[in-house]
Structure 1
Amino acid sequence: MRIVWTVIFVVALGAGGYLLWRHAPRQVEERRGTNRPTTATVEYRDIEFNIIVAGEIAPAEQVSVRPEINGRIATLEVDIGDRVKKGQVLFTLDDKELQQQRSSSQVEVDRARLQLEQARRDFARAEQLFRANLLPLETYEASRTSLELASNALQRAERELALIEERLTKTKIVAPFDCTVLTRPVSVGQAVAGSGGISGGTEVLVIADLNNLIINAHVNQADVTYLKPGMTVEVAIEAVPGLKVIGEVERIAPQATLRNNIKGFATRIALKNVDPRIQPGMTANITIPVARAEGALAVPLAAVFTEQGERFVFVKQPDGQFEKRPVQIGLSDYFYAEVVSGLEEGEVVALEPPPGVSLGSVRAELAGSGRAGGPSERMRNGKAGERRSSGSLGGPRGSGSGEGTPRGLRPRGPAS
């Protein structure tokens, strides 16, 4: 008897689990359908469409510091991260050998100067004797030649001394401007080569002016037409969440280059009011304004449908039925579309085809106009009215049909 009751219990338990498994997904779908809005109200709102271009932050002025002469590092006055004022000593070279050469050269100059004075006295006496017809012409001319040779010897010795003193000045390297030390690949006592050699010299320091930073960006050829020198853009720093600064477009290359198999234009953007948290090498996202409509009559993108090239919406009537109505669309971002004509404020539109309308014959899609977004562009960042430039560091242009946008809708620029 116990075995029979056990079998009945197991069968009942299995049947209950099977029924629960069959009905649970349906209940979840019903809850989802209940919570998901199916209509929206036509209202006025601002619509803005932007392009996002990624670039790398770099100093406006960066210098690789190399000695002009060969030598050995005697002192390193700075290290990585130090802030240095203009004219402050960065490092010095061992100048003992040059000091000895300078002393020897100074002795030669003094000797040549004494010899010149002696030659002048000899020539003065020879000249007096020659005029008194007491000295042969040959001796007089020899005395004058000795004077000229002594003068040339002094000039040569002074030039050699000047060269040595100039080399001595190159043993002390100072900062050319207010800067910060970025790298220091050498140490005290290391032999370094001068910049005049074949190798170009040994890099001792890399310094940069971090008070003036720029962004080097590669802007896709399809987006560069929206940029102009002097344009103000908004810059977001990925490494510092929430930080946004203002930049100004300084230069746009006159010729396109190929980078990561994408043709674009090198663009330089200067940052204004640099935040101390911004460092070279960080990635910056530049927002390029393309189009903006203030106070535009708008509906969600999901409410706009396309059939055989005609755009229309389903407007809710007082009796609860939906009327199919053609509309003219202007500017759109990734969530809303401007309605130029066909709707009025306060009307209610459907976000999905009403019952009885085949989903296969109606598509909720705004075809790109090629001005603010085209068929080959996809949303990459989830922000309304923004898309990534394919020429940026954010990656290549997408080839899908609008992933990331509601129901596959694509943004478009101002109505042509």
Structure 2
Amino acid sequence: MRKILLAVAVLTVVIVLIYLRRGAEPPAVTAPNVSSLSVEVVQARRQLWPQLLSASGALAPWQEAVINAETSGLRIASLEADVGSRVKKGQLLATLASETVLAEESKQQAVVAQAVANLEQANSNDRRARVVGQGGALSEQQREDYRIKVATAKADLAGARAELQTTRIRLKQTRIVAVDDGIISSRTALLGKVLSAGDELFRLVREGRIEWQAELDSRQLARVQTGQLARLILPGGQSLEGRVRLVSPTLNNKTSRALVYVSLPEDSAARAGMYASGQIELGPREAVTVPDTAVILRDGRSYVFTLGDDMRVVQRPVEVGRRLQQAVEILSGLNEPARIVRAGGAFLNDGASVTLVQPQVAQP
């Protein structure tokens, strides 16, 4: 009996020791939240931004000048300019063979000299007739004949001088010159070709000026005014700025669209025949803006991440509008006081925990 009681006592002591040992174990430690990214936050800003009107259209010369042959029957003797040549007004572009015209000029000079001599003779005869007629030796009819011969000689001289002037004009036309400053855009003149009056020889872009002919519909056209700033992108990726020079007063009957002519800077990469897209700046309008790095694109929609008090981010869909100078307009989907993740949203997911980093301030 004593052995049984001793065994029970020992067992009880063992159970008590096990229980006390378990109660002394430290509680389990809950793992802290692990931050996935360190971020900076910004708030949306209200700014006055110009309204942008998107358009596209062709690039064309401001004005073209056509240089034609003004005389016929002469061959091209020399060519002094080619496509791409930058020329000044009056600069020689080509010459025509002038031997025939020079011979005609010499002939007409002789005709003029003969007409001058005939007039002098007629005047001399008329003076003598007046002296003799005072004595009654000549009839009134004879005296009238001498006066008519003087008038006829004067008319012959005027005609000869006019023919000489015509020949000299034709001689001047053997020099083909630029009618204005510009750049030669085409050349159809061929060395040795015999010309007819009106044949096109050269075509030039006046002053080298190229403009953008933006196509707009009637609703857009009503918002555009002369002098507004326009920005366009050339096919090669270059950006250009210009000013609206002219707004077309009518629309095309077939397309119901009108042209807006935008002057571009000289010596730019713009070339006639290119097709470009761009935007025309209208009057300013208030915009809620965030840095463009804060907006990410997923599944065809735009999102921003906002930071809550629990240091977790929330993915919010937004509607974006205009873009200007590394910022983007938010049209809807965002409360302005919200803290917005400035960058790195592409590496975040909805509900992710982040660490807030204060932006560094430049030292003075």
* Aligned mate of 2:269, from 268, 277, 280: 277
Show structure 2 runs of 5+ residues with no match. Answer: 1-40, 299-305, 342-349, 351-364
TM-score by length of 1: 0.59
Q: Please give the alpha-carbon distance, in whole angstroms, between the structure 1 residues aligned to 2:140 and 2:336.
A: 119
Task: Select which of 227, 251, 254 maps to 2:246.
Answer: 251
1:2-151 map, 5 Å = 43-45=43-45, 50-70=52-72, 71-151=74-154
Tell me, in whole angstroms, the C-alpha distance in 2 between the residues paired with 1:296 and 1:251. 32
**8 Å CA contact retained: 2:80, 2:93:** yes
Match of 1:192 among 179, 190, 195: 195
1:209 aligns with 2:209: no
2:258 aligned with 1:265: yes
What's 2:225 paired with? 228
RMSD: 3.9
Aligned partners of 1:136, 1:321: CA distance in 2, in Å? 130
1:297–1:345 Cα contact (<8 Å) kept: no
* Number of the residue aligned with 1:288: 280
C-alpha distance in 1, partners of 2:290/2:112?
A: 91
Q: 1:258 to 1:286 in 2, by over 3 A?
A: farther
Give the whole-Å Cα distance in 2 for the aligned partners of 1:337 and 1:295.
6
SS at match of 2:52: strand
CA distance in 2, matches of 1:276, 1:343: 42
C-alpha displacement of 1:111: 1.0
Task: Specify the alignment match of 1:386 in structure 2.
Answer: none
Cα distance, 1:74 vs. partner? Answer: 2.0
- Shift of residue 131, structure 1, vs aligned partner: 0.4
Summarize deviations over 1:194-242 as a string: whole Å, max 9, x none. 1xxxxxx211111113542211222123322332111011122122x2x
Aligned-partner SS, 2:160:
helix
User: Partner letter of residue 179 of structure 2?
Assistant: P
* Number of equivalenced pairs: 291
Give the deviation of 1:257 after TM superposition.
0.9
1:110: Cα distance to partner?
A: 0.9
Alpha-carbon distance in structure 2 between the residues aligned to 1:118 and 1:343:
105
Question: Contact (CA 8 Å) 1:75, 1:91: kept in 2 or not?
Answer: yes
Tell me: CA distance 1:302–1:75, structure 2 relative to 1, closer, same or farther (3 Å).
Answer: closer
- The verdict on how the C-alpha distance between 1:336 and 1:182 changes in structure 2, with shifts beyond 3 A counting, is closer
Partners in 2 of 1:208 and 1:267 — Cα distance?
19
Deviation (angstroms), 1:297: 7.5
The CA distance in 1 between the partners of 2:340 and 2:85, in whole Å, is 64
Flag the 1:182–1:321 CA change in 2: closer, same or farther, 3 A: closer
CA distance in 2, matches of 1:179, 1:317: 63
Q: Does the 8 A contact of 1:44 with 1:296 survive in 2?
A: yes
SS at match of 1:180: strand
- Specify the code of the residue in structure 1 equivalent to 2:196: A
Alignment of 1:363-402 (within 5 A): none
For the 8 Å contact 2:65–2:206, the answer to whether it is kept is no
Other-structure match for 1:169? 172
> Residues 144, 320 of structure 1: CA spacing in aligned structure 2 closer, same or farther, 3 A cutoff?
closer
TM-score (norm 2): 0.67
Q: Which residue identity lines up with residue 143 of structure 1 in the other structure?
A: Y
Deviation at 1:42, TM superposition (A): 8.6
Q: Secondary structure at the match of 1:64?
A: strand
Larger relative contact order (Cα-Cα within 8 Å, sequence gap ≥ 6):
2
Partner of 1:378: none
What SS does structure 2 have at the residue aligned with 1:222? helix
Residues 51 and 289, structure 1, Cα contact 8 Å, conserved in 2: yes
Deviation digits for residues 128-184 of structure 1, max 9, x if unmatched? 111022333332222222222222211121111112212222221211222221111
Residues 65 and 205 in structure 2, CA contact (< 8 A), matched pair in contact too: yes
Equivalents in 1 of 2:204, 2:313: separation in Å?
68
Report the Cα offset of residue 343 of structure 1: 6.0
Residues 57-84 of structure 1, C-alpha deviation per residue, up to 9 Å, x if partnerless? Answer: 2222321110122132222111122222
Q: Structure 1: which 5+ runs fail to align?
A: 1-40, 195-200, 304-314, 349-353, 355-416
**What one-letter code is carried by the residue in structure 2 that aligns with 1:257?**
N
Paired AA for residue 271 in structure 1? L
SS in 2 for 1:99: helix
Which amino acid in structure 2 is aligned with residue 248 of structure 1?
Answer: R
